[in-house]
Amino acid sequence: MLSGAAISFAHVVLPPGPAVAGSTYEAAFKVGHACKDARSTTGLTVRLPKGFVLQDVPARAGWKVDIDRGGASANGAVRWTADSPAQALAGDQKSEFVLRGTLPSAPGPLYFAVLQTCDVGSADWAQLPTGAAGEKLPFPAARLNVVAPGSAPVDASGVWVRAAVPGQSGTGGFMTLAAGVPLRLVGVATPAAGVAEVHEMKMEGDTMKMRAVPSLALPAGQAVELKPGGYHLMLMDLKQPIAAGGVIPLTLSFEDAKGAKSTLLVQAPVQAAPAGGAGAEGHKH
């Protein structure tokens, strides 16, 4: 088992962002910590989930790979083993173990159980969520969100809108976006506001300035935070009370490198601004 201090950042995970059902997916499992009381990771075994069809495993210098393609009663697995202690992944280093395959045709969460073997002990990242409120799994399986073809390949998390006092004409929306392929956030719409735009807030000299931007780049596999004091959504000409405890629908519009457009509808809880928090006066143009 990993120490409690390590659990929060030591999970074996996939890059953020969803993938499209039925597509080819490059799974890059990120390892960033050895097991408890261990100095290095000496092996990694990924158990393939049902419906995932393995295509290939790129060579990894200093490591050998064993592939079990499974059968009627098993889904198969891929195991990497360091050729020698000198080739093992040191506990203070981070690396990725990559395999490629075809995703199932049905959308939904896909979980990869991963056994991390170390010079001392092991950690089995295989726990699945139960849906219990406030659940925090110490050893979660690596999760991939698989979306239907035609859907925006974007995950939105931590979504919220700042509460507005009566008479206030504008407020901000915030979230973290993670795209599975390179995209640009090109627009936002909501029935709660007459005007909704993507804005950037930054220091120019000794003055904080805010301006609308035509789009915001979302690199594949990277989390992009929209937050007070930085990039955010600006909702203006408010059409309804924006009171804490409510929910505001936001339709986000995206465009890929080929110009194909897609949208994502999110429900944003309305929250009061933190007292003295960042961006407390950030929406005064």
What string of pLDDT tens digits covers the 285 residues of the chain? 333 333 334 689 999 999 999 999 999 999 989 998 999 999 999 999 999 999 999 999 999 999 998 766 568 999 999 999 999 999 999 999 999 999 999 999 999 999 999 999 999 999 999 988 888 999 999 999 999 998 999 999 999 999 998 889 999 999 999 999 999 999 999 999 999 999 998 767 777 788 999 999 999 999 999 999 899 999 999 998 899 999 999 999 999 999 999 999 999 999 996 644 444 344 444
If DSSP codes are grouped into helix, strand and coil, which group holds residue 15?
coil
Query: Cα separations (Å) of 88 from 91, 99, 113?
Result: 9, 19, 21
- The runs of H, that is alpha helices, within 168-273 are none
6, containing H or E segment: helix 4-7
CATH number belonging to domain 4-147 = 2.60.40.2230
b/e string for 218-238 if b means 16 or more Cβ within 10 A? beebebbebbbebbbbbbeeb
Contacts of 116 (CB under 8 A, 6+ apart): 12, 31, 35, 41, 43, 44, 122, 123, 124, 125
- The per-residue pLDDT for 10 is 65
- CA 120 – CA 38 distance, rounded (Å): 5
- Output the CA–CA distances (angstroms, integers) from residue 91 to 27, 78, 122, in the order listed: 22, 22, 13
Q: How many residues appear in the chain? A: 285
- Return the pLDDT at 201: 83
CA-to-CA distance for 179 and 172, rounded, in angstroms? 22
The per-residue pLDDT for 115 is 97
Domain borders along the chain are 4-147, 154-271
What is the DSSP secondary structure assignment for residue 14, as one 8-state letter? P
Report whether 252 contacts 263 (CB < 8 A).
yes
Judge whether 33 and 166 are in contact, CB under 8 Å: no
Q: For position 112, what pLDDT does the model report?
A: 98
Label residues 134-157 b or e (16+ Cβ within 10 Å = b): eeeeebbbbebbbbeeeebbbbbe
Q: What is the pTM of this model?
A: 0.83
The one-letter amino acid at 239: K
Q: How far apart are CA 89 and CA 43, in angstroms?
A: 9
DSSP bridge pairs for 184? 217, 255
Same fold for the pair 4-147 and 154-271: yes
Q: Which fold has domain 154-271?
A: Immunoglobulin-like (2.60.40)
Q: How much is the pLDDT for 69?
A: 84
